[in-house]
C-alpha cells in the first residue's frame, strides 16, 4: 500500500455488499430453523425474543470472524470491498469486535442511522467504524484479497 491514507468505499458499492451479507445471514438463521421444524407463526413472544437474539448473534459472529480473519465477507468479496484499520493495515480482532458490536445501533431504522452517520461524517465511517478505527475500502486499494489475521 502507498503512503497515502486509504479511501473509503462509496455507499453505492457498500449497499449491495451489505444486502448480500444480509441474505447470507438470513440463510444461516432460517435454514437451520426450518430444518429443525421451527415456524415463526407458532412461536410465543418469549420464543420470538430468543429467536431474534439468536439471529443477531449469528449476524455478529459471521461479520466478526469473517472480517477479522480475511478482511472481507461474502458480500464484500463479491463487490470488491474489504475492511481495514484506519491506517490501511489488516483488521485486528479488537477492531472487528468493536466495529461489529455497534451493528445494533448502526442498524436502527433499517440502517438509516449508519447511512446518516456516514453521510454526516463525510469520511465513510458508520459508528462501528469509528469505534473500531476501521474503514471499508475497495479491495484493489490494499493490493490483496486475503491477509493473515492480525494480532488480537
Q: Which of 23-27, 52-56, 93-97, 141-145 shows the lowest mean pLDDT across its residues?
A: 141-145
What would the 3-class secondary structure string for the chain be? CCCCCCCECCHHHHHHHHHHHHHHHHHHHHHHHHHCCCCHHHCCHHHHHHHHHHHHHHHHHHHHHHHHHHCCCHHHHHCCEEEEECCCCECCHHHHHHHHHCHHHHCHHHHHHHHHHHHHHCCCCCHHHHHHCEEEEEHHHHCCCCCCCCCC
pLDDT of 148 over the 80 cut:
no
Structure pTM? 0.85
pLDDT in tens, 48-84: 899 889 999 999 999 999 999 999 999 999 999 999 9
**Chain-wide mean pLDDT for the chain?**
90
pLDDT in tens, 10-58: 999 999 999 999 999 999 999 998 888 888 888 889 988 998 899 999 9
Amino acid at each position: 500500500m502507498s503512503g497515502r491514507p486509504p479511501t473509503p468505499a462509496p455507499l453505492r458499492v457498500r449497499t449491495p455488499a451489505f444486502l448480500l451479507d444480509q441474505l447470507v445471514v438470513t440463510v444461516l438463521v432460517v435454514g437451520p430453523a426450518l430444518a429443525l421444524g421451527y415456524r415463526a407463526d407458532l412461536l410465543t413472544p418469549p420464543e420470538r425474543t430468543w429467536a431474534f437474539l439468536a439471529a443477531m448473534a449469528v449476524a455478529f459472529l459471521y461479520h466478526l470472524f469473517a472480517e477479522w480473519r480475511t478482511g472481507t465477507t461474502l458480500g464484500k468479496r463479491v463487490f470488491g470491498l474489504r475492511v481495514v484499520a484506519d491506517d490501511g493495515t489488516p483488521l485486528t480482532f479488537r477492531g472487528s469486535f468493536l466495529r461489529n458490536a455497534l451493528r445494533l445501533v448502526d442498524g436502527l431504522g433499517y440502517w438509516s442511522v449508519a447511512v446518516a452517520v456516514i453521510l454526516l461524517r463525510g469520511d465513510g465511517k458508520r459508528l462501528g467504524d469509528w469505534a473500531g478505527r476501521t474503514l471499508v475500502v475497495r479491495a484493489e486499494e490494499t493490493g490483496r484479497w486475503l491477509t493473515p489475521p492480525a494480532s488480537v
